[in-house]
Amino acid sequence: MSNIILLGPPGAGKGTQARLLTEGRGMEQLSTGDMLRAARTSGTEMGKKVAAVMDRGELVTDEIVIGLIAERLRDGSTGGFIFDGFPRTLAQADALGELLKRSGTDLDAVIEIRVDDKALEDRITGRFTCGNCGEVYHDRTKPTDKAGICDACGSTDLRRRPDDTAEALRTRMLAYYRDTSPLIGYYYHAGDLFVVDGLAEIPKVAASIAAILDQAGSS
């Protein structure tokens, strides 16, 4: 069992790789972005509070996301957790360390998915997902076989995120470099950091991550 963080800017492929790990290794994906979007869809008070902040591409408060993660960690996981989009600030990283310690576990690896900024705008502004099964598509590089229908589950509920615009992306990138990228140094210092090339093809990135997990699991 491993607990890992996938770290990288928007569009690096964290969600895609997390889904593959969930399917292949029975790990559990904890995406604070997905949790916040679910809160918005179900119309909770918290969901309403964060909606405008998310659409602008800014970070929601540490208190809210730490609360979401704490709740999910309470029940533990047999296959290990993949933290996707969390932590995004040093305060969140400290809180995660404490929460894991309290539940008697630890982090096994922090995987930085490194990409070239120029690739991100194209990846982000072209992407859409299936609202039913979560499959991720891209207008140019991975369109659906039949227009408007998910290849994986047949649903017609294909969605674009309101923050996947060029303008919101600029704010999200700024938040990444200002608040999140210091975590690279933080985890490097802790000896937990591994780097993979996020510009490689999806199966190659997955293979690099698998090799890191096998190494972390056997050490």
Q: How far is the CB of 214 from ligand AMP (least distance, A)?
A: 26
* 19, 40, 88, 123: the active-site residue: 88
Q: To the nearest whole angstrom, how small is the minimum distance from the Cβ of residue 189 to ligand AMP?
A: 20
127 is a catalytic site residue: yes
Q: Which of 48, 172, 178, 204 is the catalytic position?
A: 172
| Cα distances (angstroms) measured from residue 123 to each of 114, 134, 198 | 14, 17, 12
Q: Is 88 a catalytic residue?
A: yes
Catalytic residue among 49, 56, 142, 161: 161
Strands lying side by side in the sheet with 193-197 = 28-31, 81-84, 4-7, 109-114, 193-197
| Integer Cα distance of 49 and 88 in angstroms | 19
What is the number of H-type helices and E-type strands within the chain? 9, 8
Which C-beta is closer to ligand AMP: that of 103 or that of 165?
165
Tokens, residue 3:
């607990």
Cα 129 to its chain centre, rounded Å, is 14
Minimum distance between the CB of residue 61 and ligand AMP, rounded to whole angstroms? 7
Per CB under 6 A, residues contacting ligand AMP are: 10, 32-33, 36, 53-54, 57-60, 65, 85-86, 88, 92, 163, 172
Write out the catalytic residue numbers.
Answer: 14, 88, 127, 161, 172
